[in-house]
Structure 1
Amino acid sequence: MDKYVVILAAGKGAGMNSRDPEHSKVSYPILGKPIINYVIDAVKLLDPKQIVTVVGFGGELTKSLVEKDSDVVWQKRLLGTGHAVLQAKPLLEGKPGQTLIIYGDTPLVETETLRSIFHIHQKNRYDMTVVSAVLENTKGYGRIIREDKSNRILSIREESDCTFSEYEINEVNTGICIVDNELLFKYIERLSVDNSRHLFYLSELVQILIGDNYHVGVFVAEEMKEVYSINNRIQLADATKIMRRRINHRLMLSGVSIDDVDSTNISPDVEIGQDTIIRPNTIILGKSKIGEACAIGPNVVMNNVEIGNEAEVCFSKLENVKVGPAEKIGPFVEKNG
């Protein structure tokens, strides 16, 4: 069955407190790569028939980051997640298949997790699958409301609308879901603003579908960090730390030595050959390619460079340059090609 993806990336991201009014939240970089491009890369591996990104605040910048891989629609007025998804209706309405809806500020989500959600959705023949997580600190999240006896989902309550007892629930809505595409756009306009913030919440779709006897299930995420949304610079730094270790561990398992994983920052698109050693305080960004048996660092910054086998670079800053095999660069060299 065909897969579709809708990425929600219209929000203001006021928590970033930027002086630039057009700096969209999803365009902030993690290890040199914009947040939303991590999401794009993860969903592309699902081989979807179509990706649609909903942009709004700072939309021109966001559009420039995604338009190579995604159709783009605009949410001119920020009236909630349901209203955001509605903007994709002209592109997706009536197409048979399953639609993944995901936030553009979740850079840590991995393709294998998304595949698992699709697997559960298809195996159980759900019409909608909501992704939840169990948290100690639930502030800011909608709560999953379940029936006491059967434990099946009944609805999702936004935090601002919770009763005291509902507020104490620690299972939350991550905002990620899969919905039968034809049902999604059949029912999307039935969402109401009957809530304390007068917004169209996509989460209301759960109760609407259940009311019409459709099958709604829940996938409980094992790793909350994968569905972690970035809303301020503290969370951006936390996500960067997780991504740094993830990338460095992958490289080390492939045969690269890294002296200090905490002071080594490598972009996810960098390629490094076996038996290369990365010394402390090294930053390697862009689509850099480093050969085998090289020595890089300490105190090196590189962006979009190509390094031949057995080369050495230390105490240097290089951008858009090539370093030949066995060539030695540094100390105290700056080159910009």
Structure 2
Amino acid sequence: MPLTAIVLAAGEGTRMKSRHPKVMHKLLDRPLVGWTVDCARRAGCDRIIVVVGHGAQEVRDYMGTFDDVEFVEQPQQLGTGHAVRCVFDALYSGSNPLNIQGNFIVLYGDSPLVRPQTISWLATTSAARKDSCTVLTMTPPDPTGYGRIYSEDGQVKAIIEHKDCTAAQQEALRECNSGIYCFEGTALAEGITQLSNNNAQGEYYLTDMIAWLNSRGSAVSAVHCEEYTELLGVNSRVQLASANKIMQQRINQQHMEQGVTMLDPATVWIGPDVIIGQDTEILPHTLIFGHTTVGTDCVLGPNTRLINAKVGNNCLVDETIIVDSTIDNHVTCGPRAYLRGGTHLKDGAKAGTHVELKNSVVGKGSKVPHLSYLGDTTMGSGVNIGGGSITCNYDGVHKNKTTIGNNAFIGSDTMMVAPVHIGEGAVTGASSCIYEDVPAGALGIERSPQVIKEGYAAARQQRLEKGNK
């Protein structure tokens, strides 16, 4: 049976106090709406429709990278029922409701914590029961503000909004509406056109579908999600912080169960697309986001950030930032190293203290131990870069390349003015400005003659004392 997800993502989210649409605020490193769409995809939805409104272009620009997502515009935000009505007006206009096959899951772009298996279970249960609507419910510790589920003999008769509950109902009805539903397509297509906005807000509410279905004698039931935190929405930055903490704990637990060690999981932040091998240890204040992969037996941190990084096996990454770069096996980085822009450290290489590498290849066993910057550089194996060395790769217009051959030795405080080539086994003298190619096996040295002035210090002191009188 076809399964379609309708993701409601049109709201402004005024409580976020933001210029951006609420659903574009990030949970870990992914916008809220991205979590919902990914959930729908992993739950087996055949079609994913995102309803956009406030800040629609920003949402479209982000979601445009997903080729399985369709968009429907809700020009005025007139309630959840109106948002679903916009989908049917845009995509099913003129269709006979009796010909709309399959079930529809209604999800929310600001509810990122629901698990795919929960949505799959909701859809499977709804189909097995042949429900016209199945409501996903929860029992939070504090149900204040949530609509309460009123059932008789397994049939959901009504969803009573909190403000409409009597004191007795508030006490007796603890099961709450999550706002997530599975509708049979024909029932939804017909009923969505019957909703009224005859209420104080003048909006169309999807919850009114329950009363309409009951009036027709249609089957409406509930499935209860035991972990209520899955169904929490994000309406403020305070709630966003709470959701981040829940997802952090969930992801970290999964990694630890798969053989990753964390000294203090509360200070480790890992994105949903990260892969980490067994026996890797993550130290405090480490953040790993994007499509990062880490091998086995590594030590990451403390105070480390990896974004879209590829880390091999048996690596030490200490107080280091790696962005869009790769390190192979047995590589050492840091403390306080910065690798970016497509940098690649090969097996056994080292980027040491206060080293920055940009768009550079460091060959097997080569070392950049400390206090150096190399940009747009390719070096071979067995190279040693002395402390304080830099490549002068930018001439104000172009980024120029430096190449360093195998087993070259770059003396401390060498400036390599690109484009320049330093040959295999070549040596540069300390404090040299190398602006011409150095042949293989040669010494390149450039420095001014040292001048000695005997007695200078005493003469200087006398001048200073005279000047102070």
Is the structural similarity TM-score above 0.5?
yes
Equivalent of residue 27 in structure 1, options 14, 24, 29? 24
1:201 counterpart = 2:200? no
Of stretches 305-314 and 165-174 in structure 1, the one that deviates more from structure 2 is: 165-174
Distance 1:162 1:74 in 2: 34
The correspondence of residues 241-320 of structure 1 with structure 2, limited to 5 A, is: 241-320=245-324
1:12 counterpart = 2:12? yes
Letter in 2 for 1:15: R
SS in 1 for 2:181: strand
Distance 1:86 1:160 in 2: 26
Displacement of 1:156 in angstroms is 1.7
Displacement of 1:70 in angstroms is 1.1
Displacement of 1:166 in angstroms is 4.6
Q: 1:196 to 1:163 in 2, by over 3 A?
A: farther
1:157 counterpart = 2:160? yes
Of stretches 47-56 and 131-140 in structure 1, the one that deviates more from structure 2 is: 131-140
Q: Map Cα deviations across residues 9-42 of structure 1 (whole Å, 9 max, x no partner).
A: 1111111112x2xx11111112211111111111
Q: Map Cα deviations across residues 65-116 of structure 1 (whole Å, 9 max, x no partner).
A: 3231310111110100000011111325543000000111111111111122
1:59 counterpart = 2:64? no
Distance 1:151 1:196 in 2: 31
1:171 aligned residue: 175
Q: Map Cα deviations across residues 284-323 of structure 1 (whole Å, 9 max, x no partner).
A: 1111111121111111011111112111111112211111
Give 4+ residue runs of structure 1 displaced > 6 Å after superposition.
Answer: none
TM-score (norm 2): 0.68
Letter in 1 for 2:160: R
* Contact 1:281 1:299 (8 Å CA) reproduced: yes
Displacement of 1:167 in angstroms is 5.0
2:112 aligned residue: 107
Of stretches 55-64 and 74-83 in structure 1, the one that deviates more from structure 2 is: 55-64
1:118 counterpart = 2:115? no
CA RMSD between the two structures: 1.7
Distance 1:134 1:282 in 2: 34
Displacement of 1:50 in angstroms is 0.8
Displacement of 1:160 in angstroms is 4.5
Of stretches 94-103 and 162-171 in structure 1, the one that deviates more from structure 2 is: 162-171
* Contact 2:261 2:279 (8 Å CA) reproduced: yes
2:243 aligned residue: 239
Structure 1, unpaired ranges of 5+ = none
Distance 1:210 1:142 in 2: 17
Which of 1 and 2 has greater Rg? 2
SS in 2 for 1:88: helix
Displacement of 1:165 in angstroms is 4.7
SS in 1 for 2:179: strand
1:185 counterpart = 2:184? no
Distance 2:147 2:53 in 1: 23
Of stretches 55-64 and 201-210 in structure 1, the one that deviates more from structure 2 is: 55-64
Displacement of 1:5 in angstroms is 0.6
Q: 1:80 to 1:160 in 2, by over 3 A?
A: farther
* Contact 1:4 1:97 (8 Å CA) reproduced: yes
Distance 2:124 2:309 in 1: 40
Distance 2:197 2:60 in 1: 28
* Contact 1:145 1:166 (8 Å CA) reproduced: no
* Contact 2:53 2:77 (8 Å CA) reproduced: yes
Structure 2, unpaired ranges of 5+ = 342-469
TM-score (norm 1): 0.93
Letter in 1 for 2:111: T
Q: Map Cα deviations across residues 137-177 of structure 1 (whole Å, 9 max, x no partner).
A: 22332222334xx4632122334444555555432211000
SS in 2 for 1:262: helix
Q: 1:46 to 1:283 in 2, by over 3 A?
A: same
Distance 2:304 2:33 in 1: 27
Q: Map Cα deviations across residues 172-207 of structure 1 (whole Å, 9 max, x no partner).
A: 211000001122111101000122222100010111
The structure showing larger relative contact order (alpha-carbon pairs under 8 Å, at least 6 residues apart) is: 1
* Contact 1:161 1:195 (8 Å CA) reproduced: no
